Chains A and B, each alone.
Chain A
Amino acid sequence: MNKQNIVVLIGGIFFGFGLAYSGMAKQEIVLSFLQLKDLGLIFVMGGAAFVTFFAVNVVPRYLKAPLLGGKFKPRRAPLSRNVIIGAVIFGVGWGISGQCPGSAVASLGTGNLPILVGLVTMFIGAYIRGLLDS
């Protein structure tokens, strides 16, 4: 395991702990947010984006390059029809099941075995996307 993967693993542990702590790994809590019964989940994405904002926009002013090498590059991509159509389809799936990719993976760590079904179909969905990309 090289240094990069060790850091990714440790960061992932914080990420997964935070997902579980916030309740986002529980589909019922996500659905109660989407049904507008409990708006707390907005603070999960908001809080995470807030902290990451400093890492992406402020830290590179004082640090030339990432500590283990590589390059700082904000995550930006051009807007396209696929971005929006994909977001619509993702939104329907999220609203039906209360699962998104990160929370579904983390949910395995809470012992939530039925989520394996959702994860398998996520792989199938990603595979179909690949089949349609010619």
Chain B
Amino acid sequence: MFPLGIEPYLIGGLLIGVGVSLIYIATGLHATQSSFFTTTLSWFSKRKHFQKESNIQERKWRLFLAIGLIIGALIHTLTLSPTGFWITSVQIWRLALGGLLVGFGTRLSQGCTSGHGISGLASLSTTSLCAVIVFMGIAIVTANIVQILGVSP
């Protein structure tokens, strides 16, 4: 069940929690990720969906959050990472198709692994609990179907 042990997972999760908590305690903002796509698109699209006042208000700090994620992962890669720089071997068509569904689905659901999975669960939101159960269950079924179909990596 835990071929790599639970230590890297647990410590990584706690660090993520520290980052999200720091932001919440200092600013009251929920450091969730999928809104980043919508708020960033507000710079490029005049459509009402993207030009909502909340999107305009949030687009700057959400960009800083995304930059922070990249810098944090870069620091890990340059210091503690056992593998250093690394490139996925998952096929490009899987990244492309998966990304399209992830982008559309998380925006329709108004949350992702961080929005529903971290901030929502931490807020004891039953809506987020339902979303997490659904996306996790469906992802497990999908990943197994893909594997049974012989798609690898």
Contacts and interface: CB of A to CB of B under 8 A. Distances in A.
A84 B123 contact: no
Interface residues of B, number: 120
B108 to A, nearest CB: 3
Contact of A94 (B6, B12, B14, B135): B135
Interface in B5-51: 5-6, 8-34, 36-38, 40-41, 45, 47, 49-50
Nearest to B144: A35
Interface in A64-106: 65-79, 82-106
Interface in B86-140: 86-90, 92, 94-128, 130-132, 134-140
A15 B20 contact: yes
A117 to B, nearest CB: 5
Contact of A123 (B22, B37, B72, B118): B37
Contacts of B77: 20, 109-111
Contacts of A54: 21
A5 B64 CA distance: 6
A86 B120 CA distance: 15
B76 A17 contact: yes
Contacts of B70: 16, 105-106, 108-109
A52 B24 contact: yes
Contacts of A99: 95, 98-99, 102
Contacts of A92: 101, 105, 138-139, 142
B56 to A, nearest CB: 14
A70 B4 CA distance: 41
Contact of A86 (B19, B22, B23, B110): B110
Contacts of A98: 90, 98, 143
22 contacts: A7-B26, A15-B69, A16-B76, A19-B12, A19-B69, A19-B72, A23-B9, A48-B16, A51-B16, A51-B17, A52-B17, A52-B119, A86-B107, A93-B100, A101-B102, A104-B102, A105-B69, A110-B73, A114-B88, A117-B96, A124-B99, A125-B37
Interface of B: 1-6, 8-34, 36-38, 40-41, 45, 47, 49-50, 60-61, 64-77, 80-81, 85-90, 92, 94-128, 130-132, 134-147, 153
Interface of A: 1, 4-5, 7-28, 31, 34-57, 59, 63, 65-79, 82-115, 117-131, 133
